[in-house]
Amino acid sequence: MEIGKAFKELRDERGLSRAAVAKQIGCTLSALSKIERGKVIPKQSTIETFCEAIHIPLAGFYFRALTSEDFGRR
């Protein structure tokens, strides 16, 4: 699961700056940068706030964060 990558892609698709999103979700610019680079895993409440801020269902966010490795190999 690539939560940071999903944060960045969704933010970019909506044309939002890191600073604007950080302010909306109540974290620092540095913290959001670390999330997007995969250096920090955000709390569930941060993910929920992010989803509300960019108007995406929580399930949609997690679907976006999935990778083929999350499904295992057969």
- Residues 6 or more apart whose CB falls under 8 angstroms from that of 19 comprise 29
Tokens of 41: 């895993």
Please tell me the predicted confidence (pLDDT) of residue 74: 55
Domains of the chain listed by start with CATH number: 3-71 (1.10.260.40)
Per residue in 4-52, pLDDT (tens digit) is: 999 999 999 999 999 999 999 999 999 999 999 999 999 999 999 999 9
Q: How confident is the model at residue 69 (pLDDT cuts 50, 70, 90)?
A: confident
Tokens of 70: 């999350």
Please tell me the predicted confidence (pLDDT) of residue 73: 62
**SS3 letters across the chain:** CCHHHHHHHHHHHCCCCHHHHHHHHCCCHHHHHHHHCCCCCCCHHHHHHHHHHHCCCHHHHHHHHCCHHHHCCC
